[in-house]
A = this chain, B = another copy of it.
Amino acid sequence: MKEGSRKHGMLAPCAACKLLRRRCAPDCVFAPYFPANEPQKFASVHKVFGASNVNKMLQELPEHQRSDAVSSMVYEANARVRDPVYGCVGAISLLQQQIDSLQTQLAMAQAEALHIKSNHQFNTAASSQRPASSSSPDHRGNEADSLWFY
């Protein structure tokens, strides 16, 4: 509906064509992903990747993958605008540090659980042997009786 109206020249050109100051053709590769009301999306990818590269990358993909590709490019471009030195790679580095920390915490928690469990088993075994040892005096008593008998 929106696309149909755009084709009849009733809506503004897409954000990309507006920024690039060119006519927004009915088959514009940017139009479905860069609507006029979200100019910042295209501004970021244009600044980081360049309109020509974004165009080329979209053309090389089948249509059903273009929306995801645009989303990931916008995310990547925004990360690079926020952090011009590390961009997305800064986020990857932080996530990897978080994974290292979680793996250490998990190993510690598992070791603690194992330690408590083995302590618990040891104590259970020790306490289950207590009645047997308390009956031993009687047994020793019988032995003593036997010895006395001989």
Interface residues in chain A, defined as those with a beta carbon under 8 Å from any beta carbon in chain B: 47-50, 52-53, 57, 60-61, 65, 68-69, 71-73, 75-76, 80, 84-92, 95-96, 98-99, 102-103, 105-106, 109-110, 112-113, 116-117, 119-120, 123-124, 127, 130
Contacts and interface: CB of A to CB of B under 8 A. Distances in A.
Main secondary structure of the interface of A (DSSP, over half): helix
6 nearest A-B pairs in the assembled complex, by CB-CB distance: A109-B109, A72-B89, A102-B102, A95-B95, A50-B50, A113-B113
Nearest to A87: B72
Contacts of A90: 72
A68 to B, nearest CB: 5
A98 B102 CA distance: 10
